[in-house]
Amino acid sequence: MAETLYESLEDFIAHLRGVRCASAHTVKAYETDLIQFIEFARSRRAKSAGAVDTLLLREYVRHYRGGGDGQGARAKSSMARKISALRAFFRFLLERDRVETNPAAALRQPRRDRPLPRFLDEAAVERLLAAPQGDAFAALRDRALLELLYSTGARLAEVVGADVADLDGSCESLRVRGKGKKERLCVLGGPAASAMRRYLEARAARLKAARRAEHALFLNDRRGPGCLRRLTDRSVRRLLKAHLAQAGLDPATSPHTLRHSFATHLLNRGANLRLVQEFLGHQHVTTTQIYTHVDARRLKETYRRAHPRA
């Protein structure tokens, strides 16, 4: 009996987790998108991968792009992700000889508009980093966390997933694991290193008082059960929102905004694009190039300074 689409999906998800080392968010997104497609295919009496052809896939794309499921028309970014999931799924099946051809290879990605990344100017970043006040454990942790996010440009998942052992002895660099579990070294500036050392002292004292050990770098501040465990990304977003309000900054600012600010400020001060690519852990420099367009003022200043007839 031919393998069902759901059985093929189980193997593909296991491949994403075990071989490609995809993040939990990527796995969940691909799984959700492919389940939607499988339900659509089953409604068209296609229960196995071999029964799926390009015409069916195009019908599915038109169906969901136009909101045929009652959820409204889909954004280009949403449809692009669905098509990427289909391509990866059928490419996986083709490589394992479970289908004779890849019916998703002919699908075309929608042309997407790339909005410029949001970032804070340097003065706003200074206000945010100064928001956590006092010597309490939570204040020292928050200051170190915000300093680290801005100083390294690391992704939120990379920071909350870091352990104390990933820091070097002088707190001047941090080893993080990015997309695909690829490791890279992030450099901490002087203020970030100083804030980190103060936090580590408070962290050690809290763990000693609680008579327990914990490998995670950033810990929660709970009391009772679940205390002093790894800080979650949801908790980081919540504490960031509180400090944004305290600093009088846009509440829509996210942890990723600090990553954008990091890259933008480096480039504005003359950093090499290839080096910024390495700092951010981008696989392709084209991903990093978007930051060269965020500050028209800098472009005009460079033109006036460098062009003989400016």
Is 243 part of the annotated catalytic residue set? no
Tens-place pLDDT, residues 28-45: 999 999 999 999 999 999
What's the rounded Cα separation, in Å, for the pair 220 and 240?
14
Domains defined along the chain, listed by start: 5-95 (1.10.150.130), 123-250 (1.10.443.10)
- Whole-number pLDDT of residue 1: 46
Confidence of residue 67 (pLDDT cuts 50, 70, 90): low
pLDDT: is 295 or 56 the higher one? 56
155 is catalytic: yes
Residue 58 catalytic?
A: no
Candidates 63, 65, 177, 179; catalytic one: 179
What local confidence, expressed as pLDDT, does residue 220 receive? Answer: 95
CA distance 43 to 164: 51
Helices 255-268 and 273-280: crossing angle in degrees, nearest 10, is 160
Half-sphere exposure of 156 (CA within 13 A, CB side): 17
Q: CA torsion angle for 95, 100, 103, 109 (degrees, to 10)? A: 30
Neighbouring-strand partners of residue 175:
185
User: pTM for the whole thing?
Assistant: 0.71
Q: What is the pLDDT of residue 20?
A: 87
Residue 263's pLDDT is 92
- Residue among 197, 206, 282, 298 flagged as catalytic: 282
Of the ranges 73-82, 83-92, 220-229, 262-271, the best mean pLDDT one: 83-92
Does 143 qualify as catalytic in the annotation? no
Question: Looking at 60, 64, 199, 291, which residue is catalytic?
Answer: 291
Measured distance CA(294)–CA(119) in Å, rounded: 9
Model pLDDT, residue 203: 96
**20, 184, 197, 256: the active-site residue:** 256
d(CA 55, CA 168): 55
Catalytic residue among 74, 87, 143, 155: 155
Tokens encoding 67: 């909101």
User: How many C-beta atoms lie closer than 10 Å to residue 212's C-beta?
Assistant: 11
d(CA 3, CA 302): 60
Q: Quick one: pLDDT at residue 75?
A: 72
Active site residue 259: yes
Residue 36 β-bridge partners: none
